[in-house]
Every structure is written in structure tokens, then in C-alpha cells.
Structure 1
Amino acid sequence: MKKAAVAWLTVGDHRTYPVWCAWLDDALHIVGGGAGEQPLPGLATASRASVTARGDHGGRVVTWPAQVHRLRPGDEAWATVVPQLAGKRLNGPGGEELARRWADPEVLVCRLTPDGDPTEAGPTLPDGSLAAEVPQTPAVHRVRRPFRLHRVRNRRA
């Protein structure tokens, strides 16, 4: 997990979704919610989640249960974790500005601590495809081409 920059998170009955993350102080930390941050469906009210990490080959290597703890500005952990997270954030606006943005009540800064043995690892990993069903979206429907009264010729200079 120390090398992981992306993990897959399952919270309750929500779809599994990818999250940007950083491993600090023996726990996985993620930031999301609010404007400009990754969505974290269901995590604001969750106390437990399931974390799946992928290996160098792109496939999953481990899934482990986690306890979710929200970090808040003023907490002792906030002062030590947030500057480290801001430093690891790619394409962020800067450490102190990022920390101020994360202090917004709509933004979640969460610490996911391992809670028990992995549920899937090594020989217990599934063999088949785990591809999820494609979510419904209006973008999958073919849009009609605009009507043209006259044929447009291709002019070559």
C-alpha cells in the first residue's frame, strides 16, 4: 500500500469506485467531496469500508476491511497528515492553499485504518472477470446528425 496512488473503495451498497490515496502513518488517507475534489459516495456517513489495491501488473492483489475516521481541522492528526497529503498531491495548487480548501466542511479528509485480515489475497483472489455493469448514462445513445438541405462539397485549394 505504500506505493499505491490509486485504490478501489467499496462503501456499503455503493458501486466500487477508484480514489486517489496516500499511505501515511500505517493508514490510507483520501481526500474528496466538495468542489474540485474526487467524489466519495457514502463515505461521509460510513464507519467501515473495503479497500482494494492493484499490483504492478494492473490486477488486484489484496482487499482489506477498513475503519473510516474523518479528520477535521484542529485535530492533532490534521496538523501532521494534511501537509504530507498536500505534498503528495499531483497538480495541486500548493500546500497551504490546498490545506485551506480541504478545511471546508464539505470536503472529507479520511483516514482508513486496516481492521482485520484481508478478505481477498493470494489464492483467495477470484479467477474470473470482475467487470462491473456499465452505469446508465445519456452519453451512450447515438445522437442524430443535423439535417442538411444541400450537399456540401469539399473544396480543395
Structure 2
Amino acid sequence: MTDPLLDQALVEEATKKSGLIWVQGSGPARALWHVWHEGAAHVVGDGPGEQPLPGLADGGTATVTVRSKDKGGRLVEWAATITELAAGSPEWEAAVAELKGKRLNAADGEAMPERWARECRVLRLEPVGATAELPDGSLAAAPLPSSATTRRPIPAALPRLLLRRGRRRH
């Protein structure tokens, strides 16, 4: 039997320090950037240019796995209740103020909160119950289908360009 206060402290500290959390609602687990604010993780997404939040619905539950920022290993896993914050509410305003500070490379800068209010969802993932025992093994899963690719044939001229560059140095 673990101490609930120690569980709460572990969840809070690990989640605060991690850059990403893995969240699994009714669909596959996804890595999401987040901010820890007032006892819960907050995420923004489902809008143009923002992270997708499939399987995460208001009133639902999710499993959150927190990884180590430096080594990437699992630190803690916890159950969460999902609450969608109403745009413009005091809770939404406070969460968005924190999220805005962590959002990198936003094209609209200061107009970002207005866009989030119109086009995105802000979710609060609040821990419930005790932390789960971490399973043995890697839990590796096949990548989700995507149109992105990392392997393409090299351009025909590239070997000549590389050889030419090498000759100039010597």
C-alpha cells in the first residue's frame, strides 16, 4: 500500500519536469506537450497547427504515462479524468496563460489565445486514484498511420555535389 500524498507528489513533480506525456484515451496513446497547472496537466489541440487529441472527450478517462526528460524512460503512470475547459472561463484563461508560455513556434504569437478559443480544445487531465505499477517490457507499438515520410530517393545530382565539395577542401 502506497501513501496517497507520496503518489500525488510523484505525479506532480514528474509531470512538471517532463516535456511530453503519453496520453491514452479511447484510442492509441499519443505524445502531447502540456503544462502542469493547479493540480492537473493541461493540453491544447484539435485545431489547425496544433496537436491532435483523438480519443480524449470531456467527462472521459485517460491513462497518462510520464517519461524522464533526460533518458526518456517511464517514471510514473496515472489515471486521469478529462475535463474540457469552456473558452473564456476563469479556469480556461488561467490554463491558457500557462500554455501560451510553453507553446513553441506559434505563427500567430499574441493572437494565439483568441485562435485557441475559436478553433481548439483545452483539456484538463486531473489525476485520480493511486499511481499504477509500471509494466515490464518496452510497450513499443507500431507507428500510427501518417502521410509523413523520412526516406526518399536521394536527388541524382547529390553525389556529384558532395564529391565536388570534398575536392575543394583538399
- Same fold (TM > 0.5): yes
Instruction: Pick closer, same or farther for the CA change 1:136–1:114 going to 2, 3 Å.
Output: closer
Residue 41 of structure 1 deviates from its aligned partner by: 0.6
| Helix, strand or coil at the partner of 2:115 | helix
The corresponding residue for 1:92 is 106
Instruction: Pick closer, same or farther for the CA change 1:40–1:126 going to 2, 3 Å.
Output: same
1:1-157 pair list within 5 angstroms: 1-12=15-26, 14-45=27-58, 47-55=60-68, 56-93=70-107, 96-104=110-118, 106-120=119-133, 125-136=134-145
The corresponding residue for 2:6 is none
User: Distance between the aligned counterparts of 2:33 and 2:106, measured in 1?
Assistant: 12
One-letter amino acid of the counterpart of residue 67, structure 1: T
Q: TM-score, normalised to structure 2's length? A: 0.71
Percent identical among aligned pairs is 44
One-letter amino acid of the counterpart of residue 115, structure 1: V
User: Distance between the aligned counterparts of 2:50 and 2:146, measured in 1?
Assistant: 21
Unaligned runs of 5+ in 2: 1-14, 154-159, 165-170
User: Distance between the aligned counterparts of 2:103 and 2:63, measured in 1?
Assistant: 23
Instruction: Pick closer, same or farther for the CA change 1:134–1:93 going to 2, 3 Å.
Output: closer
Unaligned runs of 5+ in 1: 145-153
CA RMSD, 1 decimal: 2.7
Instruction: Pick closer, same or farther for the CA change 1:102–1:139 going to 2, 3 Å.
Output: closer
User: Distance between the aligned counterparts of 1:143 and 1:94, measured in 2?
Assistant: 32
State the aligned residue count. 140
Judge conservation of contact 2:42–2:124 (CA < 8 Å) in 1. yes
User: Distance between the aligned counterparts of 1:20 and 1:134, measured in 2?
Assistant: 18
Q: TM-score, normalised to structure 1's length? A: 0.77
User: Distance between the aligned counterparts of 1:71 and 1:128, measured in 2?
Assistant: 36
User: Distance between the aligned counterparts of 1:139 and 1:35, measured in 2?
Assistant: 17
Residue 138 of structure 1 deviates from its aligned partner by: 7.2
User: Distance between the aligned counterparts of 2:137 and 2:109, measured in 1?
Assistant: 42
